[in-house]
Amino acid sequence: MSMVSCPVAIPICGIHLSAGNGGGSGPQHLLDYLDKLDLKGFVCHRDDGEGVGVTLTDDFAQRYTPQFDTTLLCQQLNLSTTDKPDDLEREIVLALLASPVRFEFPSFEEFASAVNIRRNIVQNARSTALAFDTEHAERPEDYWNYDLSSGFTVKPGKPLIEALQKTTQPERSGKLYSFSCYRATEYVILLSIAQELAECNPAVLAKLQQQWETRAIMSGQFHDVFLYEYGSMAQPLPPCYYIPGDRLWFRNPDEQSSNVEGYEGSWVFYLGDGLFTNFWKRDQPFTLRSKCVELFHWRNATYRNADGKLLVDDDVVDARVAQSMQDPGEVDRIVDLMLRLRDPRDVYRDGGCIDTTRECARRVRPGTGGLAFDR
């Protein structure tokens, strides 16, 4: 893979677990947990008086996550995350411990829930298959109501978890429902958080159920309520650093084709093992290279229809991608262009498709959770 250099001065920050909140044994629980996953020999930890900080050892990080590239962890460690749930958990934890920003957890239980939600997101995203549509939206009529002011709400008496599974997982409904990629990611995140709440915080799950029976939380408000964004334009994440369960945006760096609705960029989840979601072709998840090539060719499939509307022809994109993928040199050229940090908003110069941030779920445990709804 074409590599983008990351500043060598960035330290590994990993995770920090507080010893407060009456959870003085939390750090020991974390170390016992790492031992159970056979990871204790790959980490170092330091008690700072307020808790314990845990990171990968320098030797392990330099060998398996060079320049914070986590995309080859499974291949290098021979992990099978689809067949072995513990391997998915191992990859999540190793990527967290490799982080260039510090993840703060007020208790071991909150850390465990964060890992569980990431695991849920990966497993639910793998099961999600949808029909791409930026102008129309569908839901199973026996589970959902629609109103312009409240959006799609769950019918009273219909469990939110079941409604979300029916909508996103065709094995449960027998149908592909129409979605934009952004709304699809919201449903997967909501489902994954709800599943963890069912295990650790049923009272908040009940409030979440009431919220979605009243009004859907969407778009910017969804981000504010449910997600924590890490990294920034001022302190960008390394281009190849991803944790399974991250939501992220690949920006379309071509100004003309980015004016087509739905092609401003692409919202996806990182599935681990170097793969990213493809909700429209579930059995063909993207690699970082293939995602770069797909976004690059949007510019070569842009046209105006008879009404003058700017569109992208997906069949042309598929054909151009297939042609490019037969030429490794051409792929390297495209990846070198695209595997760069994106330009700022409204700027189209030399940036690529890689965002400077990632998103993950907020805390959910009783007493330390951060979810609040207004209905």
Last residue of a domain, one of 75, 90, 124: 124
> Residue ranges of the chain with pLDDT lower than 70?
1-9, 20-25, 134, 375
User: Do the domain assignments include residue 315?
Assistant: yes
> Same domain, yes or no, for 86 and 156?
no
Structure tokens given for 21:
């909140």
> Same domain, yes or no, for 353 and 253?
yes
Q: What is the pLDDT, as a whole number, of residue 19?
A: 75
Q: How many domains does the chain have?
A: 3
Judge contact between 268 and 277, C-beta under 8 A.
yes
Using the 8-state DSSP alphabet, how is residue 241 labeled?
A: -
Report the C-alpha gap between 321 and 330 in whole angstroms: 11
Report the C-alpha gap between 80 and 111 in whole angstroms: 23
Q: What is the pLDDT, as a whole number, of residue 180?
A: 85
> Same domain, yes or no, for 42 and 71?
yes
Beta bridge partners of 247: 269, 359
Last residue of a domain, one of 99, 124, 149: 124
Q: What is the pLDDT, as a whole number, of residue 9?
A: 58
Report the C-alpha gap between 315 and 171 in whole angstroms: 26
User: Do the domain assignments include residue 52?
Assistant: yes
Q: What is the pLDDT, as a whole number, of residue 6?
A: 40
Contacts of 227 (CB under 8 A, 6+ apart): 189, 247, 359, 360, 361, 362
Sign of CA dihedral 245, 251, 257, 259: positive
Beta bridge partners of 269: 247
Q: Give the 3-state secondary structure of residue 314.
A: helix
> Same domain, yes or no, for 253 and 343?
yes
Domain that holds residue 30: 15-124
User: Do the domain assignments include residue 339?
Assistant: yes
Using the 8-state DSSP alphabet, how is residue 172 labeled?
A: H
Q: What is the pLDDT, as a whole number, of residue 20?
A: 65
Q: What is the pLDDT, as a whole number, of residue 25?
A: 63
Instruction: Give all strands (DSSP E) within 155-205, no chain letters.
Output: 178-179
> Same domain, yes or no, for 209 and 142?
yes
